[in-house]
Amino acid sequence: MIQLEGLTKQYGKFVAVNGIDMEVPTGELFGFLGPNGAGKTTTLRMIAGILRPTAGRVLLGGDDVQENPMAAKARLGYIPDRPFVYEKLTGAEFLRFVAGLYGQDGTVIEQRIDELLDLFELSVWKDELVEAYSHGMRQKLIISSALIHRPECIVVDEPMVGLDPKGARLLKDIFRQFVDRGGTVLMSTHTLEVAQAMCDRIAIIQNGNIVARGTIAELRHQTEAGDASLEELFLKLTGGGAMRELAAVLSD
């Protein structure tokens, strides 16, 4: 379970995230949507313990990320939006290293490495340095690294970027099976079709504040949008001005 209580992040006078309260229970796939610069990535990085909150707290399975980081982070698998990995390690070595960070090694991990590389069709690249991997392959490797230690929660920032259709489909299946087995996924994405198809509940963040949350049906009800699609709901909640400007620019 992921709990955010009054989570705030300020950079000088700029408030990137403004006192968010949110709860993602066990067995739920939760979508976190918002326009560029709304505060999604900052929130996810605070959950992962990369950024320190200005106020508020993050609880992972009941453990505070700041107060009890080792226990909290051991439950988490984090997938960032930009796949920076050690260029001079091979794919298998990178996964072994990540498992080591979680205190895991031995034959169980070796088997798990083979399974994950096989699942993401990276087995052929197992012993090749990461510097030769494409963007999509790196993304697959990072997803594998988030799963290597069998986490309870997954926090993922833009998971579909760089993935081929087969990889994207595979990831959707993995996340669905993960939550069906009692895992928790918090996913930020701009791909609204993916969010609509996959997520049990959704929160929309704008200017650091959550402006709406709930199932698609609840969002429709909150916005009185009839049977509108998530895309329409999103534009209605976050302001469609930008879309109109874009249309004007393209028609020039």
Partner 1 sequence: MALAHIISPKWRTTLSRARQSQGGRGKAIVMGTVGLVFWLAVFGVLYRVLRYFRGVEEIGPLLAGKLLGLVLLSFLSILILSNVITALSSFFLAKDLDLLVSSPVDWIHVYLAKLGETAVHSSWMVALMAVPIFTAYGIVYDGGWLFGPFVVSVFIPLLLFPAVVGSALTLILVNVFPARRTRDLLSIIAIAAAGGVVLLFRLIRPEQLARPEGFRNLLDFITVLRTPTSPFLPSEWATDSVMGYLVGPFDPLALVLLWSSAGATIVVGALLHWKLYASGYTKAQEGAERFIRGWVWQRVLGPIFHPLSVAKREFVIKDLKLFFRDTTQWSQLILLGVLVVIYLFNIKALPLFSGEQVPFALVTIVSFLNLGLAGFVLAAIAARFIFPAISLEGRQMWLLRSSPLNLRAMLWSKYWVGTIPLLVLALLITILTNVLLQASTFMMAVGVSTIILLTLAMSAMALGLGAVFPQFDTENAAQIPTSYGGLVFMMSTIALLAAVIVIEAAPVYAYLQAASRGEPIPISTTMLGAFALVAVLCLGATTVALYVGLRRIEAMEF
Residues that bind partner 1 (CB under 8 A): 45, 48-52, 69-74, 76, 78, 80, 84-86, 88-90, 92-93, 96-105, 127-129, 131-132, 145
Residue number, 34 or 53, with CB nearest to partner 1: 53
Tell me, letter by letter, the H, E, C secondary structure of 84-107: CCCCCCEHHHHHHHHHHHCCCCCH
CA dihedral sign, ordered 125, 126, 130, 136: positive
Residue number, 71 or 211, with CB nearest to partner 1: 71
Residue number, 73 or 213, with CB nearest to partner 1: 73
Q: How many CA atoms lie within 13 A of 113 on its CB side?
A: 22
Residue number, 109 or 216, with CB nearest to partner 1: 109
Q: Which of 81, 61, 83 is nearest to 70 (CA)?
A: 61
CB of 223 closer than 8 Å to CB of 230: no
Least Cβ distance, residue 231 to partner 1 (angstroms): 30
Least Cβ distance, residue 96 to partner 1 (angstroms): 7
Least Cβ distance, residue 80 to partner 1 (angstroms): 5
Least Cβ distance, residue 109 to partner 1 (angstroms): 9
What residues contact 97, with CB distance under 8 A and at least 6 apart? 86, 89
Residue number, 117 or 204, with CB nearest to partner 1: 117
Strand partners, 10: 15
Least Cβ distance, residue 1 to partner 1 (angstroms): 18
